[in-house]
Structure 1
Amino acid sequence: VFPLAVPYMLNPVGITVVIIASGEVVSVASAAMVIGLILLVAAFDYLVFTNIDVLAKRMKPATMVVSEVVFGILLTAVAVQLIVSGLGGLGIIAPNIAH
């Protein structure tokens, strides 16, 4: 079950939502929303981990490998995008704007 652990625990969508939302905190209500999002991501991860044995029994080994690769690629894409956005925000690189 190990191949499923890291990609599902660090789900790219959850990480991105929490990072983007935490950058937009301007009030108590928006801080509460970020905390709610963190709890939602944690609940999703909890559901995956508590049902991982059922999921692993239903998946073929090849499907597990493909799932791991796909989630790994998504996580890498999110990481690269956050790095590029951060470097652009710092003025180290110029943002590329498509016309």
Structure 2
Amino acid sequence: MIDIKRPIELAGMRSRLARAKKLETDIAVTGQRYDRVLDKIDEQHKALQGHAGELESNASQLEQLLGSMLAGDNGGPNDGETSSSGSEAGQVITGVKAS
């Protein structure tokens, strides 16, 4: 059995179809905007990845530099300890009276 719609029911379909078409267009525009934003985020993420790599490299170079500066032993005393030769640490000045 075929149900034939009454004219009053069909009259509302035109506005509904127009509304649906406008909604489809609006969704397409929103989708394009969303894609543009995601593209910008991807570009910024790639730039940050490169920057992070540079920072890691700089940190490694700094660690190597500090390690080479701290590892060298010149035979002198370290903070009040005895020197590597066993002599007293620090400079001893004799013949001077404290006032």
Q: When the two structures are superposed, what TM-score results if normalisation uses the length of structure 1?
A: 0.32
Q: When the two structures are superposed, what TM-score results if normalisation uses the length of structure 2?
A: 0.32
More helix, by proportion: 1
**Rg comparison, structure with higher value:** 2
